[in-house]
Amino acid sequence: MTEKLYYSDGYLRETDAVVTAIDGDAVILDRSIFYPEAGGQPGDRGMIGSFIVSDTKKGADGTPLHIVKGEKPEIGKSYHIVLDWEHRYFYMTEHSAQHLVSALLHSMYGIGTAAVHQGEEFFTIETDRDEIDTSVLLSVEDAASDAIRAGYRIYQLSMSHGEAEALHMRRSIKVQGDVLVVFIEGIDAVACGGVHLRSTSEIGEITFCGSERIRGHVRTIWKCSSLSVAERRRNASIVSSLSALLSSEPEKIVESAGRLAEECAELRREVRTLSVRIAEYAYMAARERTQKGKAVIFIADTDISAFEGAVPEDEEQSVLVLSGNRFLFHGTEERFALLRKGLSSFSIRGGGRGVMFRGSFAGDASVVAEEAGKILDDQPAQ
Ligand SMILES: [Zn+2]
Protein backbone atom coordinates (compact mmCIF):
# COMPACT_ATOMS: atom_id res chain seq x y z
CA MET A 1 0.00 0.00 0.00
CA THR A 2 1.49 3.35 -1.04
CA GLU A 3 1.74 6.00 1.69
CA LYS A 4 -0.18 9.01 0.29
CA LEU A 5 1.98 11.94 1.34
CA TYR A 6 -0.18 14.43 -0.62
CA TYR A 7 -2.84 14.06 2.09
CA SER A 8 -0.52 14.78 5.02
CA ASP A 9 1.21 17.65 3.16
CA GLY A 10 -0.24 18.95 -0.12
CA TYR A 11 2.75 21.30 -0.44
CA LEU A 12 5.49 18.63 -0.42
CA ARG A 13 7.22 19.04 -3.80
CA GLU A 14 10.02 16.46 -3.54
CA THR A 15 11.15 13.49 -1.45
CA ASP A 16 12.67 10.01 -1.81
CA ALA A 17 10.68 6.85 -2.55
CA VAL A 18 11.30 3.19 -3.42
CA VAL A 19 9.84 1.51 -6.52
CA THR A 20 7.79 -1.46 -5.26
CA ALA A 21 6.20 -2.70 -8.49
CA ILE A 22 5.81 -1.98 -12.21
CA ASP A 23 2.73 -2.94 -14.25
CA GLY A 24 2.98 -1.95 -17.93
CA ASP A 25 3.64 1.83 -17.91
CA ALA A 26 2.45 2.15 -14.28
CA VAL A 27 5.18 2.54 -11.66
CA ILE A 28 4.17 1.98 -8.01
CA LEU A 29 6.10 3.56 -5.13
CA ASP A 30 6.19 2.88 -1.37
CA ARG A 31 5.26 6.55 -0.76
CA SER A 32 4.08 9.24 -3.17
CA ILE A 33 3.58 12.99 -3.53
CA PHE A 34 1.87 12.44 -6.92
CA TYR A 35 -1.91 13.01 -6.71
CA PRO A 36 -3.82 10.70 -9.10
CA GLU A 37 -6.48 12.06 -11.45
CA ALA A 38 -9.89 12.15 -9.70
CA GLY A 39 -13.01 14.30 -9.31
CA GLY A 40 -12.13 16.57 -12.24
CA GLN A 41 -8.65 17.30 -10.83
CA PRO A 42 -5.94 16.15 -13.32
CA GLY A 43 -3.20 13.73 -12.25
CA ASP A 44 0.24 15.02 -11.28
CA ARG A 45 3.34 15.12 -13.49
CA GLY A 46 7.01 15.19 -12.55
CA MET A 47 10.11 12.97 -12.21
CA ILE A 48 11.13 9.70 -10.56
CA GLY A 49 14.91 10.12 -10.65
CA SER A 50 15.61 10.88 -14.33
CA PHE A 51 12.36 9.20 -15.51
CA ILE A 52 9.49 11.45 -16.63
CA VAL A 53 6.06 10.88 -15.03
CA SER A 54 3.61 12.10 -17.71
CA ASP A 55 0.45 11.47 -15.64
CA THR A 56 -0.74 9.81 -12.43
CA LYS A 57 -3.83 7.58 -12.49
CA LYS A 58 -5.77 6.01 -9.66
CA GLY A 59 -5.40 2.22 -9.30
CA ALA A 60 -8.28 -0.06 -8.25
CA ASP A 61 -7.57 0.43 -4.51
CA GLY A 62 -6.71 4.14 -4.80
CA THR A 63 -2.99 3.46 -5.31
CA PRO A 64 -1.30 6.20 -7.36
CA LEU A 65 -0.06 4.71 -10.68
CA HIS A 66 2.83 6.86 -11.97
CA ILE A 67 2.77 6.67 -15.77
CA VAL A 68 6.31 6.37 -17.18
CA LYS A 69 6.63 5.73 -20.93
CA GLY A 70 9.66 3.96 -22.37
CA GLU A 71 12.54 2.92 -20.10
CA LYS A 72 11.46 2.20 -16.49
CA PRO A 73 13.13 2.69 -13.08
CA GLU A 74 14.35 -0.40 -11.16
CA ILE A 75 12.14 -2.26 -8.71
CA GLY A 76 13.56 -2.11 -5.15
CA LYS A 77 15.69 0.98 -5.85
CA SER A 78 15.23 4.35 -4.08
CA TYR A 79 14.77 7.50 -6.23
CA HIS A 80 14.44 11.21 -5.61
CA ILE A 81 10.91 12.11 -6.76
CA VAL A 82 9.95 15.68 -7.81
CA LEU A 83 6.57 17.19 -8.72
CA ASP A 84 5.83 19.50 -11.68
CA TRP A 85 4.83 22.03 -9.03
CA GLU A 86 3.49 24.69 -11.42
CA HIS A 87 1.03 22.14 -12.86
CA ARG A 88 -0.03 20.83 -9.43
CA TYR A 89 -0.36 24.26 -7.81
CA PHE A 90 -2.47 25.58 -10.70
CA TYR A 91 -5.00 22.72 -10.44
CA MET A 92 -4.91 22.77 -6.62
CA THR A 93 -5.81 26.48 -6.78
CA GLU A 94 -8.57 25.94 -9.35
CA HIS A 95 -9.96 23.04 -7.30
CA SER A 96 -9.99 25.11 -4.08
CA ALA A 97 -11.65 28.02 -5.95
CA GLN A 98 -14.34 25.60 -7.17
CA HIS A 99 -14.96 24.48 -3.54
CA LEU A 100 -15.37 28.12 -2.50
CA VAL A 101 -17.80 29.04 -5.31
CA SER A 102 -19.87 25.83 -4.88
CA ALA A 103 -20.04 26.51 -1.12
CA LEU A 104 -21.22 30.11 -1.62
CA LEU A 105 -23.79 29.15 -4.30
CA HIS A 106 -25.22 26.72 -1.76
CA SER A 107 -25.02 28.81 1.41
CA MET A 108 -26.27 32.05 -0.19
CA TYR A 109 -28.94 30.70 -2.58
CA GLY A 110 -29.37 26.96 -1.90
CA ILE A 111 -28.00 26.23 -5.39
CA GLY A 112 -26.47 22.74 -5.62
CA THR A 113 -23.49 21.59 -7.70
CA ALA A 114 -24.36 18.83 -10.21
CA ALA A 115 -20.93 18.50 -11.88
CA VAL A 116 -17.59 20.31 -12.08
CA HIS A 117 -14.85 20.54 -14.67
CA GLN A 118 -11.31 21.89 -14.27
CA GLY A 119 -9.63 23.11 -17.43
CA GLU A 120 -6.46 24.88 -18.52
CA GLU A 121 -8.41 28.05 -19.35
CA PHE A 122 -11.30 28.08 -16.85
CA PHE A 123 -13.30 25.88 -14.50
CA THR A 124 -17.02 25.24 -14.68
CA ILE A 125 -19.69 24.45 -12.11
CA GLU A 126 -22.84 22.86 -13.49
CA THR A 127 -25.63 23.74 -11.08
CA ASP A 128 -28.91 21.94 -10.36
CA ARG A 129 -30.93 24.95 -11.62
CA ASP A 130 -32.39 25.61 -15.08
CA GLU A 131 -32.21 29.38 -14.61
CA ILE A 132 -30.06 31.71 -12.49
CA ASP A 133 -30.10 35.48 -12.68
CA THR A 134 -26.69 37.01 -13.53
CA SER A 135 -26.99 39.31 -10.49
CA VAL A 136 -27.00 36.18 -8.28
CA LEU A 137 -23.74 34.94 -9.81
CA LEU A 138 -22.15 38.37 -9.52
CA SER A 139 -23.05 38.52 -5.80
CA VAL A 140 -21.39 35.09 -5.39
CA GLU A 141 -18.32 36.54 -7.13
CA ASP A 142 -18.35 39.42 -4.60
CA ALA A 143 -18.64 37.01 -1.66
CA ALA A 144 -15.78 34.90 -3.08
CA SER A 145 -13.61 38.04 -3.25
CA ASP A 146 -14.46 38.80 0.41
CA ALA A 147 -13.48 35.22 1.39
CA ILE A 148 -10.18 35.56 -0.52
CA ARG A 149 -9.39 38.83 1.27
CA ALA A 150 -10.34 37.31 4.65
CA GLY A 151 -7.95 34.37 4.07
CA TYR A 152 -10.03 31.54 5.55
CA ARG A 153 -8.15 28.38 6.49
CA ILE A 154 -8.70 25.30 4.28
CA TYR A 155 -8.02 21.95 5.96
CA GLN A 156 -8.85 18.28 5.61
CA LEU A 157 -9.89 15.85 8.41
CA SER A 158 -10.36 12.10 8.27
CA MET A 159 -13.41 10.96 10.25
CA SER A 160 -15.78 8.03 10.60
CA HIS A 161 -18.79 7.77 8.30
CA GLY A 162 -21.11 8.52 11.22
CA GLU A 163 -19.21 11.67 12.26
CA ALA A 164 -19.22 12.88 8.65
CA GLU A 165 -22.97 12.18 8.27
CA ALA A 166 -23.62 14.26 11.41
CA LEU A 167 -22.16 17.34 9.65
CA HIS A 168 -25.14 17.33 7.20
CA MET A 169 -22.91 18.43 4.35
CA ARG A 170 -24.22 20.02 1.12
CA ARG A 171 -23.18 16.97 -0.93
CA SER A 172 -23.91 13.31 -0.13
CA ILE A 173 -20.97 11.08 0.89
CA LYS A 174 -20.00 8.70 -1.92
CA VAL A 175 -17.38 6.56 -0.11
CA GLN A 176 -17.71 3.72 2.39
CA GLY A 177 -15.83 3.63 5.73
CA ASP A 178 -13.72 6.59 6.87
CA VAL A 179 -14.31 9.88 5.06
CA LEU A 180 -11.95 12.74 4.18
CA VAL A 181 -13.80 16.01 4.85
CA VAL A 182 -12.48 19.32 3.51
CA PHE A 183 -13.33 22.44 5.50
CA ILE A 184 -13.20 26.07 4.50
CA GLU A 185 -13.18 27.64 7.94
CA GLY A 186 -16.64 28.95 8.81
CA ILE A 187 -17.95 28.50 5.26
CA ASP A 188 -18.03 24.91 4.10
CA ALA A 189 -17.52 21.22 4.84
CA VAL A 190 -17.66 18.63 2.07
CA ALA A 191 -16.36 15.09 1.53
CA CYS A 192 -13.50 15.26 -0.97
CA GLY A 193 -10.39 13.21 -1.73
CA GLY A 194 -8.64 15.99 -3.68
CA VAL A 195 -5.68 18.21 -2.81
CA HIS A 196 -6.32 21.77 -1.62
CA LEU A 197 -4.67 25.06 -0.79
CA ARG A 198 -4.05 26.05 2.86
CA SER A 199 -5.95 29.32 2.67
CA THR A 200 -8.56 31.02 0.47
CA SER A 201 -6.13 33.98 0.16
CA GLU A 202 -3.90 31.88 -2.13
CA ILE A 203 -6.70 31.83 -4.77
CA GLY A 204 -5.77 35.47 -5.45
CA GLU A 205 -8.94 36.42 -7.30
CA ILE A 206 -12.03 34.86 -8.92
CA THR A 207 -13.91 36.18 -11.96
CA PHE A 208 -17.35 35.10 -13.10
CA CYS A 209 -17.01 34.74 -16.90
CA GLY A 210 -20.54 33.77 -17.97
CA SER A 211 -23.03 30.94 -18.01
CA GLU A 212 -24.66 28.58 -20.51
CA ARG A 213 -27.44 25.98 -20.57
CA ILE A 214 -26.42 22.32 -20.64
CA ARG A 215 -28.50 19.18 -20.03
CA GLY A 216 -31.28 21.50 -18.81
CA HIS A 217 -28.95 23.03 -16.18
CA VAL A 218 -27.16 26.35 -15.88
CA ARG A 219 -23.40 25.79 -16.15
CA THR A 220 -21.38 28.67 -14.75
CA ILE A 221 -17.86 29.56 -15.99
CA TRP A 222 -15.14 30.96 -13.72
CA LYS A 223 -11.47 31.92 -13.80
CA CYS A 224 -9.17 32.25 -10.81
CA SER A 225 -5.67 33.37 -9.95
CA SER A 226 -3.46 34.33 -12.95
CA LEU A 227 -6.20 33.31 -15.43
CA SER A 228 -8.54 35.81 -13.80
CA VAL A 229 -5.90 38.54 -14.11
CA ALA A 230 -5.34 37.59 -17.79
CA GLU A 231 -9.12 37.74 -18.40
CA ARG A 232 -9.31 41.24 -16.92
CA ARG A 233 -6.35 42.44 -19.01
CA ARG A 234 -7.70 40.84 -22.21
CA ASN A 235 -11.09 42.53 -21.73
CA ALA A 236 -9.44 45.89 -21.04
CA SER A 237 -7.36 45.50 -24.20
CA ILE A 238 -10.45 44.67 -26.31
CA VAL A 239 -12.30 47.71 -24.96
CA SER A 240 -9.29 49.95 -25.60
CA SER A 241 -8.85 48.67 -29.21
CA LEU A 242 -12.57 49.04 -29.95
CA SER A 243 -12.56 52.49 -28.42
CA ALA A 244 -9.73 53.55 -30.76
CA LEU A 245 -11.32 51.87 -33.81
CA LEU A 246 -14.69 53.51 -33.21
CA SER A 247 -13.17 56.83 -32.05
CA SER A 248 -15.45 56.56 -29.06
CA GLU A 249 -15.13 56.74 -25.30
CA PRO A 250 -15.20 53.27 -23.66
CA GLU A 251 -18.61 54.03 -22.11
CA LYS A 252 -20.08 54.72 -25.56
CA ILE A 253 -18.58 51.90 -27.68
CA VAL A 254 -21.72 49.74 -27.50
CA GLU A 255 -23.82 52.66 -28.73
CA SER A 256 -21.26 53.45 -31.48
CA ALA A 257 -21.06 49.81 -32.59
CA GLY A 258 -24.88 49.64 -32.72
CA ARG A 259 -24.99 52.76 -34.89
CA LEU A 260 -22.30 51.32 -37.18
CA ALA A 261 -24.25 48.06 -37.55
CA GLU A 262 -27.38 50.04 -38.52
CA GLU A 263 -25.41 52.04 -41.10
CA CYS A 264 -23.98 48.82 -42.54
CA ALA A 265 -27.45 47.30 -42.85
CA GLU A 266 -28.70 50.42 -44.62
CA LEU A 267 -25.71 50.37 -47.02
CA ARG A 268 -26.27 46.68 -47.72
CA ARG A 269 -29.89 47.43 -48.67
CA GLU A 270 -28.70 50.25 -51.00
CA VAL A 271 -26.09 47.98 -52.62
CA ARG A 272 -28.79 45.37 -53.18
CA THR A 273 -31.13 47.89 -54.86
CA LEU A 274 -28.31 49.08 -57.12
CA SER A 275 -27.23 45.50 -57.94
CA VAL A 276 -30.77 44.65 -59.05
CA ARG A 277 -30.84 47.79 -61.20
CA ILE A 278 -27.47 46.91 -62.78
CA ALA A 279 -28.77 43.37 -63.38
CA GLU A 280 -31.86 44.74 -65.14
CA TYR A 281 -29.70 46.89 -67.45
CA ALA A 282 -27.32 44.00 -68.17
CA TYR A 283 -30.24 41.71 -69.00
CA MET A 284 -31.94 44.33 -71.24
CA ALA A 285 -28.66 45.06 -73.06
CA ALA A 286 -28.07 41.34 -73.66
CA ARG A 287 -31.62 40.89 -74.89
CA GLU A 288 -31.20 43.85 -77.32
CA ARG A 289 -28.19 42.26 -79.02
CA THR A 290 -29.76 38.77 -79.20
CA GLN A 291 -31.61 37.78 -82.35
CA LYS A 292 -35.33 37.25 -81.84
CA GLY A 293 -36.07 33.62 -81.06
CA LYS A 294 -32.55 32.88 -79.84
CA ALA A 295 -31.57 32.25 -76.21
CA VAL A 296 -30.31 35.29 -74.25
CA ILE A 297 -26.92 34.18 -72.89
CA PHE A 298 -24.45 36.49 -71.16
CA ILE A 299 -21.69 36.71 -68.55
CA ALA A 300 -22.11 39.24 -65.74
CA ASP A 301 -19.98 40.34 -62.83
CA THR A 302 -22.92 41.31 -60.60
CA ASP A 303 -24.01 38.89 -57.86
CA ILE A 304 -26.16 36.25 -59.60
CA SER A 305 -29.01 36.62 -57.09
CA ALA A 306 -29.61 40.18 -58.35
CA PHE A 307 -30.86 38.70 -61.65
CA GLU A 308 -33.71 36.82 -60.00
CA GLY A 309 -35.88 39.92 -60.01
CA ALA A 310 -34.40 41.33 -63.23
CA VAL A 311 -35.80 38.75 -65.69
CA PRO A 312 -39.60 39.18 -66.04
CA GLU A 313 -41.76 36.14 -65.22
CA ASP A 314 -43.35 36.20 -68.70
CA GLU A 315 -40.05 36.32 -70.61
CA GLU A 316 -40.60 33.97 -73.58
CA GLN A 317 -36.98 33.55 -74.64
CA SER A 318 -34.66 31.30 -72.61
CA VAL A 319 -32.18 33.32 -70.54
CA LEU A 320 -28.87 32.03 -69.15
CA VAL A 321 -26.78 34.33 -66.94
CA LEU A 322 -23.31 33.25 -65.76
CA SER A 323 -21.44 35.01 -62.94
CA GLY A 324 -18.32 33.57 -61.33
CA ASN A 325 -19.11 29.87 -61.11
CA ARG A 326 -22.85 30.47 -60.53
CA PHE A 327 -25.64 30.41 -63.11
CA LEU A 328 -29.27 31.41 -63.37
CA PHE A 329 -31.52 29.95 -66.05
CA HIS A 330 -34.97 31.25 -66.97
CA GLY A 331 -36.92 28.85 -69.23
CA THR A 332 -38.96 25.66 -69.30
CA GLU A 333 -38.09 22.55 -67.32
CA GLU A 334 -37.57 20.65 -70.61
CA ARG A 335 -34.98 23.14 -71.83
CA PHE A 336 -33.20 23.19 -68.46
CA ALA A 337 -33.01 19.36 -68.58
CA LEU A 338 -31.60 19.61 -72.12
CA LEU A 339 -29.04 22.21 -71.04
CA ARG A 340 -28.00 20.16 -68.04
CA LYS A 341 -27.52 17.06 -70.19
CA GLY A 342 -25.56 18.95 -72.86
CA LEU A 343 -23.32 20.65 -70.26
CA SER A 344 -22.77 17.49 -68.19
CA SER A 345 -18.97 17.83 -68.45
CA PHE A 346 -19.19 21.13 -66.48
CA SER A 347 -20.44 19.44 -63.26
CA ILE A 348 -23.70 21.38 -63.10
CA ARG A 349 -25.17 21.43 -59.58
CA GLY A 350 -28.46 22.92 -58.47
CA GLY A 351 -31.98 23.06 -59.87
CA GLY A 352 -35.30 24.82 -59.43
CA ARG A 353 -38.92 24.67 -60.42
CA GLY A 354 -41.31 26.56 -62.71
CA VAL A 355 -39.21 28.84 -64.94
CA MET A 356 -36.31 29.67 -62.60
CA PHE A 357 -33.27 27.38 -62.14
CA ARG A 358 -30.06 28.22 -60.30
CA GLY A 359 -26.83 26.55 -59.30
CA SER A 360 -23.12 26.28 -59.98
CA PHE A 361 -20.81 24.95 -62.68
CA ALA A 362 -17.11 24.16 -62.97
CA GLY A 363 -15.03 25.49 -65.85
CA ASP A 364 -14.61 28.57 -68.01
CA ALA A 365 -17.77 30.75 -68.22
CA SER A 366 -17.18 31.78 -71.87
CA VAL A 367 -16.90 28.11 -72.94
CA VAL A 368 -20.08 27.28 -71.01
CA ALA A 369 -21.83 30.25 -72.70
CA GLU A 370 -20.75 29.06 -76.16
CA GLU A 371 -21.79 25.45 -75.54
CA ALA A 372 -25.12 26.56 -74.05
CA GLY A 373 -25.76 28.68 -77.14
CA LYS A 374 -25.30 25.66 -79.42
CA ILE A 375 -27.61 23.51 -77.32
CA LEU A 376 -30.43 26.04 -76.83
CA ASP A 377 -30.40 27.54 -80.34
CA ASP A 378 -30.55 24.12 -82.02
CA GLN A 379 -33.94 23.66 -80.40
CA PRO A 380 -37.21 25.26 -81.48
CA ALA A 381 -37.70 28.68 -79.81
CA GLN A 382 -40.13 28.98 -76.93
ZN1 LIG B 1 -11.71 19.00 -3.02
Strand order in the sheet with 51-53: 51-53, 46-48, 78-83, 14-23, 26-29, 64-67, 55-58
Question: Same structural domain for residues 148 and 229?
Answer: yes
Using one digit for the tens of pLDDT, what is the confidence trace for 148-171? 999 999 999 999 999 999 999 999
Interval between CA 195 and ligand 1 midpoint (Å): 6
Average pLDDT over residues 320-326: 95
Interval between CA 12 and ligand 1 midpoint (Å): 17
Q: State the distance between the two ends of the chain, measured CA to CA, in whole angstroms.
A: 91
With CA atoms as reference, report the closest residue to 298 among 289, 9, 239, 306.
289
Question: Same structural domain for residues 78 and 96?
Answer: no
Interval between CA 40 and ligand 1 midpoint (Å): 10
Task: Spell out which residues have Cβ within 5 A of ligand 1, the ion.
Answer: 192, 194
Per-residue model confidence (pLDDT) at position 379: 64
Residue 252 lies in a domain: no
Per-residue model confidence (pLDDT) at position 354: 87
Interval between CA 327 and ligand 1 midpoint (Å): 63
Report residue 38's pLDDT band, with 50, 70 and 90 as the boundaries: confident
Torsion-angle region of 84 (φ positive above 0: left; ψ -120 to 50: alpha; else: beta)? beta
Average pLDDT over residues 244-255: 95
With CA atoms as reference, report the closest residue to 366 among 297, 308, 306.
297
Question: Same structural domain for residues 96 and 233?
Answer: yes
Question: Same structural domain for residues 79 and 98?
Answer: no
Question: Same structural domain for residues 337 and 314?
Answer: yes
Question: Same structural domain for residues 79 and 96?
Answer: no
Asked if residue 378 has pLDDT above 80, the reply is no
User: Of the residues 31, 55, 83, which one is the last residue of a structural domain?
Assistant: 83
Per-residue model confidence (pLDDT) at position 45: 97
Interval between CA 163 and ligand 1 midpoint (Å): 19
Asked if residue 373 has pLDDT above 60, the reply is yes
Question: Same structural domain for residues 102 and 185?
Answer: yes
Interval between CA 106 and ligand 1 midpoint (Å): 16
Using one digit for the tens of pLDDT, what is the confidence trace for 206-241? 999 999 999 999 999 999 999 999 999 999 999 999
Which residues are CB-contacts of 75 (< 8 A; sequence separation ≥ 6)?
A: 19, 20, 21, 22
Quote the CA–CA distance of 114 and 37 in Å, as a whole number. 19
User: Of the residues 83, 117, 135, which one is the last residue of a structural domain?
Assistant: 83
Report residue 382's pLDDT band, with 50, 70 and 90 as the boundaries: very low
Interval between CA 97 and ligand 1 midpoint (Å): 9
Interval between CA 253 and ligand 1 midpoint (Å): 42
Average pLDDT over residues 14-39: 95
Quote the CA–CA distance of 344 and 363 in Å, as a whole number. 11
Determine what percent of the chain falls in helix, strand and coil, rounding each to the nearest 5: 40, 30, 35
Residue 265 lies in a domain: no
Interval between CA 116 and ligand 1 midpoint (Å): 11
Asked if residue 381 has pLDDT above 70, the reply is no
Interval between CA 29 and ligand 1 midpoint (Å): 24
Interval between CA 148 and ligand 1 midpoint (Å): 17
Interval between CA 348 and ligand 1 midpoint (Å): 61
Question: Same structural domain for residues 121 and 180?
Answer: yes
Interval between CA 42 and ligand 1 midpoint (Å): 12
| CATH number of the domain within which 195 lies | 3.30.980.10
For 196, the domain range is: 89-243
Asked if residue 193 has pLDDT above 80, the reply is yes
Question: Same structural domain for residues 107 and 68?
Answer: no
Average pLDDT over residues 119-146: 97
Using one digit for the tens of pLDDT, what is the confidence trace for 41-71? 899 999 999 999 999 999 988 899 999 999 9
Question: Same structural domain for residues 50 and 170?
Answer: no
pTM of this prediction exceeds 0.85: no
Interval between CA 194 and ligand 1 midpoint (Å): 4
- Domains identified in the chain, total number: 3
Q: Which long-range contacts (CB under 8 A, 24 or more apart) does 113-120 make?
A: 113/170, 113/171, 114/217, 116/39, 116/40, 117/40, 118/40, 118/41, 118/42, 118/91, 118/94
Asked if residue 380 has pLDDT above 80, the reply is no
Average pLDDT over residues 101-117: 97
Length of the chain, in residues = 382
Interval between CA 215 and ligand 1 midpoint (Å): 24
Average pLDDT over residues 362-370: 94
Interval between CA 115 and ligand 1 midpoint (Å): 13
DSSP state of 1: -
